[in-house]
Structure 1
Amino acid sequence: MSGLRAADPQEWTALMVQGQRGDTHAYHRLLLGITPYLRAIAHRVHRNPSDAEDTVQDILLTLHEVRQTYDPARPFKPWLAGIARHRVADRLRALGRVAAGEVMSDIEHEAFAAVDKSGDAALNSRAVEAALLALPAGQRQAITLLKLQEQSLKEAAAQSGMSIASLKVSAHRGIKALRRLLGEGYP
């Protein structure tokens, strides 16, 4: 479409809501606006431009498939960053080039960076990061593998060297500790 202007990040939420309501012009502007952002994420992870572009396409397809699940009451950019993080991890696992844990921390930081660092969002993400770092290593690893990276118990056990039972216990205790720490307004 000639003359169609790509959307700025500040417009993404409104355009997504309009797109959910059937406004194809708004949805197309949203896609034009988010594509450079998604390319930047993909190129940080993939050396091969073809792999990066395939990852961007995976993210865009996933976004299109799940667009009706977006909750307009919540910020769009962190939701999009979560989709991107999962598709990047899926692509890395499919390529078999890197163990999931070696790259995910950079992607997770990107997801945190994607949040507008003003107000409650910045405080919440910093509080969660700080509380996670305060956990014992086993609990932190279990939560990272099972909850943040969404690995199966079998995958997480293979990567961590922990038994499935130990992972379950560590994840349960870690989540309980996070709730306690965050309930105390940590840090």
Structure 2
Amino acid sequence: MAAAQAGDQRAYTRVLNDSVALIRAVARRQGVAVDALDDVVQETLLTVHRVRHTYDPLRSYDAWLSAIAARRAIDVLRSRGRREHREVHDEFAFDTHSDREDASAGTERAQEALRLRKAIETLPPGQREAVEQLGLKERSLAEAAQRTGRNTGALKVNLHRALKTLRDRLHGES
């Protein structure tokens, strides 16, 4: 990597190619599924390319790379977890689901959703913004901070306070 930092293109290509095995091993230790390993490898190599100037030749390249790979593996796991949480994977789910839903259950859910929307609207602006960005739109802290102009710490605090307030209000009404 030190040669690559000095501008040796062959060394850079070789170090990237030789890094793939270590990245895959780190990702597997993090619990990444086999079908997602290529995603981790790609994200890690892109990160290495972006931050290659931060590598210190006096330190272990493998340790530096492993730290980056572990973070990218966690990112992929989080991303897949959010996606799988929203997706239906049962091929018979739609076949066995009744088309005629109990009207009272549907009405009750609609009323709860309306109560929740109204409760969110009454929150202070910072808390409402945190709920909308992080909860409803499912943006990451970094994305929400960029869009709102608030720092991540403020967003976390606002979200925590908003959830506590909503929990108290909604359970207090029941």
Please indicate the TM-score interval, normalised by the length of the shorter structure: 0.3 to 0.5
TM-score w.r.t. the length of structure 1 is 0.42
Larger Rg: 2
TM-score w.r.t. the length of structure 2 is 0.45
